[in-house]
Every structure is written in C-alpha cells, then in structure tokens.
C-alpha cells in the first residue's frame, strides 16, 4: 500500500506518452539517474511519471522466475495502447487508465478508496481526508504522516476536479490532469465543495466490457454487483444503478447480443459477457476505432 509515489504531481498532458515511449525503447534510461533529462522534466516529475506508469498498468514488474532486470517494463496493456493510441488522445484510453488506477490498492490506495469506499457525493476536502484517515485506522494499516495523506488527497482531487466557475489557464503550462476531461468530479471554487458526478457517461462499449471482464471472473454478472462491488463498473465510472443499466443497454445495442447481453433471472438483471481475455476487448476496441 503506497502513498505519495506521485511526488505531489497529478498526471500532466503528454507525460504518459513520454514515459511509455522511453519505457518501450530505452527502459534503462527511464530508471537511470538521468531520466529527467531524457524525459525533459524535473527530477521529481520523472519519479512521478514512473509512478503513474505503474499505477495505470502501462508498466509492470517482470516475472521474478525469469530473472534479469528488476526494473519495471512495458506491460501488454502498454503495448496495446502504444499501438492503438500512443498519444493518449482517445477518451476511451483515459477511461481504461482511470479504471486501472482506481483498482490499484498497492500503488494508489487513496484513489482506490475514493471510488470504492467513499460514499459521500458532495464534500469538502477536509471531510474526504478525515474519512480516509479513519478507514486506515480501522483497518489497522500503517499510518502515513498527516502531511503525506494531505498531499495524497490533494493530488487525488486535482486528478479529476473541474473548477466551477471555469478558470482559463495558459495552455502552455499544461498542468491540468487529462483525467479531468472524464467529468467525474466538479470543484465549486466559491464554496470549496467538491461534487461527484454519478450521472450517465459516454463510456465506449468495449471499455465497459473490459472493466466487467477485469472485475469479475464469471461471464454472468448481476446488475447489483456490477454497480456496487469493489472494482465494479458502477464504482469505477461513478454510476447509479439506473445509469449503469442505461449504459449496459446501450453497449448491448452497439456490440450485439453475441458479445454482451442483458437477461433476467429470478427478478435480477444479469449482464452476460462473451468469454474472451480481458485485454482482447481493448485490442478489439482500437481495431474498431481504426476501421471507423
């Protein structure tokens, strides 16, 4: 369980492309003392980029049984995204990375907890921070310092929050996290409150199927579990049961019933998912995107 690996920096525009490009072609440079020079960023920013590559599953540690270099390497997911959307301009790519990030208990526990365990939709930062601290104490986890937790929550909120009223920024600074485009969180700057958006969202059908396939071993997923279970689509996309059902129906229509179908069983709606490797959904997603 890790806190503060981001070095206080949320993901910035272009960072994942830079990091993945270096990891793919010169992994030794990404983990060298000169990584900041190769990436064109500050030293702490280079550490942050390495952290986000792991937390989003673009990078992974090699199999220890095979020996060799112990540094992280590009993952199979990283190769799929590099081939399909290496500049990270497709909104579907952001949803994929977001879904991985908020399941990453080890690399980004605060992100995991916020989407899977925090049940307040309108809150101030102090309430969010106190709730996280309380959960860690109840779970008898090793407590980070108050400063570390505060920085983690600050970075978490900066990852997703869109300010209201809108505050124009210099595009050359590129400090806003691309994940803010997902529309998951609003920051009312006048009152200081944050608000989680649980309404319907434009999730690509293949990405929805990928999240279902990742969160559940079974191919038949009850709607209640798809909405409320840890790592479920409802948690990851911040959707109510009604909004999730609407999304599932739309995905059934777009993918076809051979890939995803909604059925009823004993009064419970079931999402029937075609059995295929979870990453295959993403291969198919980028292939369909290219064809269109």
Residue 63's pLDDT band (cuts 50, 70, 90)? confident
Last residue of a domain, one of 196, 219, 246: 196
Does one domain contain both 210 and 83? no
Tokens 């485009």 belong to residue: 181
pTM: 0.94
Does one domain contain both 173 and 244? no
- Asked whether the predicted pLDDT for residue 224 surpasses 90, the reply is yes
CA distances from 144 to 4, 110, 132 (A): 9, 12, 11
| Mean pLDDT (whole number) for 32-50 | 95
pLDDT digits (tens, 9 = 90+) for 256-285: 999 999 998 666 899 999 999 999 999 999
Domain count across the chain = 2
The pLDDT value recorded for residue 286 is 97
Does one domain contain both 217 and 168? no
User: CA 183 to CA 171: how far, in whole Å?
Assistant: 19
Contact status, residue 95 vs residue 209, Cβ threshold 8 Å: no
Contact status, residue 143 vs residue 136, Cβ threshold 8 Å: yes
pLDDT digits (tens, 9 = 90+) for 168-221: 665 545 578 999 999 999 999 999 999 999 999 999 999 999 999 999 987 899
User: CA 21 to CA 33: how far, in whole Å?
Assistant: 17
* Domain-embedded: residue 183: yes
* Domain-embedded: residue 61: yes
Domain hosting residue 282, numbered range: 205-291
Contact status, residue 215 vs residue 187, Cβ threshold 8 Å: no
pLDDT digits (tens, 9 = 90+) for 122-157: 999 999 999 999 999 888 767 889 999 999 999 999
């Amino acid at each position: 369980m890790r806190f503060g690996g981001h070095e206080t920096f949320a993901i910035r525009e272009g960072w994942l492309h830079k990091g993945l490009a270096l990891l793919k072609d010169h992994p030794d440079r990404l983990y060298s003392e000169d990584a900041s020079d190769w990436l064109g960023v500050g030293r702490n920013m280079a550490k942050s980029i390495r952290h986000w590559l792991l937390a989003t599953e673009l990078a992974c540690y090699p199999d220890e049984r095979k020996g060799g270099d112990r540094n992280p390497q590009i993952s199979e997911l990283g190769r799929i995204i590099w081939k399909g959307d290496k500049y990270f301009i497709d909104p579907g790519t952001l949803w994929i990375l977001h879904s991985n990030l908020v399941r990453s208990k080890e690399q980004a526990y605060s992100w995991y907890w916020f989407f899977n365990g925090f049940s307040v939709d309108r809150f101030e930062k102090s309430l969010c921070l106190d709730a996280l601290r309380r959960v860690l104490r109840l779970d008898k986890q090793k407590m980070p310092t108050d400063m570390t937790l505060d920085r983690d929550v600050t970075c978490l909120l900066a990852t997703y929050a869109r300010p209201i009223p809108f505050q124009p920024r210099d595009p050359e600074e590129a400090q806003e996290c691309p994940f803010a485009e997902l529309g998951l969180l609003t920051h009312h700057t006048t009152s200081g409150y944050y608000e989680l958006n649980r309404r319907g969202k434009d999730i690509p059908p293949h990405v929805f199927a990928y999240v279902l396939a990742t969160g559940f071993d079974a191919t038949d997923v009850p709607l209640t579990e798809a909405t409320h279970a840890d790592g479920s689509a409802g948690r990851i996309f911040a959707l109510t049961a009604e909004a999730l059902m609407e999304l599932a129906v739309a995905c059934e229509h777009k993918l076809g019933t051979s890939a995803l179908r909604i059925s009823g069983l004993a009064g419970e709606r079931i999402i029937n998912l075609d059995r295929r490797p979870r990453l295959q959904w993403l291969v198919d997603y980028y292939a369909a995107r290219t064809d269109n």
